[in-house]
Amino acid sequence: MQNITANNNTSITFTTTKTGKADLKKDGGTIRGRHTVQVDMLVGTDHKTIAGLDLVKVESADRAKLKTALESRGLVFTDLDFNLALEGDLPRKKGVLTALRQSATGSNTDNKHLDAYSDHPCGVKGVSIHDGTGDVHVRGIIIGEKIISADPNGNARKTKSGLHVQLKNAISKELDLTTRKWRQYKLPADATVNGIDNPSSL
> pLDDT of 65-84, one tens digit each?
999 999 999 999 999 999 99
C-alpha closest to that of 172 among 89, 58, 50: 58
**What is the structure's pLDDT at 92?**
80
- Number of domains making up the chain: 1
Host domain of residue 67: 3-201
**Residue ranges of the chain with per-residue pLDDT less than 70:** 111-112, 114, 202
Q: d(Cα 17, Cα 38) in Å, to the nearest integer? A: 9
**pTM, rounded to two decimals:** 0.87
Tell me what pLDDT residue 108 has: 75
